[in-house]
Structure 1
């Protein structure tokens, strides 16, 4: 975990003087020259505290971006192939939509690609997924969802706004894309975002058990990962080979799913992920898996992870989060 003890040189000098004053004997200590005992600027100056990216936990060397986190809703069916822009995301959250399929919430902050898509619609589930202060790029949503998103105070951008366009070489509705780099320049951040996950160092991670492959099954769709070359490769990704998300970790959270209260145009009931409360967690990193528990106080609470031994942190890096239904969803892994 990122807890560091910093002691200034001035504090060390003061401590040494105190110890000297507490020494035994009646010998008088001669007065010292104040100019010679004063700490130099080199002694009192300390390196600045490191700062970290909120969506990866990696150390940041420059200034924070002027734009907020931009979350783009991306289609995740064969019709989306090839997905564009996933390779530049800081983090991706995969969530259930109607019919047992999934949709992606791709998070951008430290790096913003030129183009992202295909862009699809929001769900009420996004209220508990999108971090405070972020803006969502979407193809819209059902009116009942828009009402809830607006009530939650989440700003969103859709077709008709500058930077959102149709690619006429693709078929609708899988042809909506966003010039994310241009869009982000017009957005203003209201402070720096909080950490999305509890970040830590790889050395903090419990040993766990060996697991070099895993599959998250949502019903009609499953996502499979293989640990290769120090990272996790999505072997059934719809992204172009050179534009896949560079996953250092895969975090599987088992979640409750309810009914959003309406049906999609095809007549399927729309599910709503209940990303609050508590549930089982599986953290895959370095070819191993650590079993634990996640908790979240309300829809907008911070995500906390733990094992029986105590707090669990995610090694800094790019993380793909699978929100797999606790009922009607499955997670399997193998050595």
Structure 2
């Protein structure tokens, strides 16, 4: 592809991501048991209309605590998730953990922490992808990554993130290479950071760590002093999903902790920095959308511009939901299935969010049963 043509394509991509563009069609009115679909939204979705809660961590809905970093941004860190990069560090401490395919069926994680200064050792750090950037932007957080795809870099440039909110690999002070791992692994599997290292780099390079108004809530949370909401559609002690022929995962509900523990590649997904403890989350959101290839035939294009169906799991139960987004900076919203614009009430806690291709829905299982 000649350079002018390539540049034109990249600029068109940026415009589409900003506008959430797609062919216009009537939004579906979901039924009680919808088939998984993805539909463009008629217009840019409205901001969430629910009343925000005071005194909570906006990423988890949990009480802020004594050392809450009021007025400071959180941080999102890209984490390698190929088999050879395991085990990872820092995933158990993430307030939010996003997972999506990037290329070749491989998924990448984006771990989000409300308090960057007290973040544990996190890694191995990997490069930015535009689908993750679109979920990072509405969180108003900082962004740590090593390099990025053309599409991700265009999007970061459009939102003026480099040198403002985005720490790329060129800011060498924000990460280090684990030399012991480097003896036997590729360097892409050996890059790490932690709170003190990141905080020092942010100060050195003068990135914008301050947030001048109330941090937006990720979800519409149940009040921390209120009873947990019981999900409506049934019991879910085991959840299986497949991202591709390369990557699948399973969650099993742990009655002792009241959380979902994750398996990946047939093994427990563990946090090396947390003494090898298995990753667990309070809330699971498994959301289905159209995933295709960009024109290069390699990178995955995850369509976040419209709306689709998904499943919310908590406390060993589940319910069907809708998701809606739009432009790159618009928040991801989890809505009731009845076709209203009412955001689902989410129980406080750490959340795992997966965007999964519609072509993988046939493999999706709840308690070993196909989902109709």
**TM superposition score normalised by structure 2:** 0.70
CA contact (8 A) 2:231 2:317 kept: no
- Partner Cα distance (1:105, 1:325) in 2: 18
CA contact (8 A) 2:50 2:220 kept: no
Aligned residues: 286
- Partner Cα distance (1:77, 1:214) in 2: 21
CA contact (8 A) 2:262 2:280 kept: no
Taking CA–CA contacts closer than 8 Å with sequence separation of 6 or more, which of the two structures ends up with the larger relative contact order?
A: 2
Question: 1:306: which partner in 2?
Answer: 336
CA contact (8 A) 1:69 1:193 kept: no
- Structure 1 unaligned blocks of 5 or more: 5-48, 264-268
Q: 1:327 aligns with which of 324, 343, 359?
A: 359
Q: 1:58 aligns with which of 62, 79, 83?
A: 62
- Secondary structure at 1:207 match in 2: coil
The structure whose Rg is larger is: 1
CA contact (8 A) 2:240 2:249 kept: yes
- Partner Cα distance (2:54, 2:142) in 1: 27
The alpha carbon displacement at 1:243 in A equals 4.5
Q: Which has the higher strand share?
A: 1
Question: 2:221: which partner in 1?
Answer: 199
The alpha carbon displacement at 1:91 in A equals 0.8
- Partner Cα distance (1:250, 1:320) in 2: 5
- Structure 2 unaligned blocks of 5 or more: 1-48
CA contact (8 A) 1:71 1:108 kept: yes
Question: 2:316: which partner in 1?
Answer: 287
CA contact (8 A) 2:287 2:310 kept: yes
The alpha carbon displacement at 1:224 in A equals 0.9
CA RMSD of aligned residues (A): 2.5
The alpha carbon displacement at 1:232 in A equals 0.6
The alpha carbon displacement at 1:125 in A equals 1.0
Distance change >3 Å, CA 151–CA 261, structure 1 → 2: farther
- Secondary structure at 1:79 match in 2: helix
- Partner Cα distance (2:339, 2:233) in 1: 12
CA contact (8 A) 2:133 2:152 kept: no
CA contact (8 A) 1:197 1:314 kept: yes
- Partner Cα distance (1:134, 1:77) in 2: 25
Question: 1:108: which partner in 2?
Answer: 113
CA contact (8 A) 2:89 2:121 kept: yes
CA contact (8 A) 2:231 2:314 kept: no
The alpha carbon displacement at 1:309 in A equals 8.2
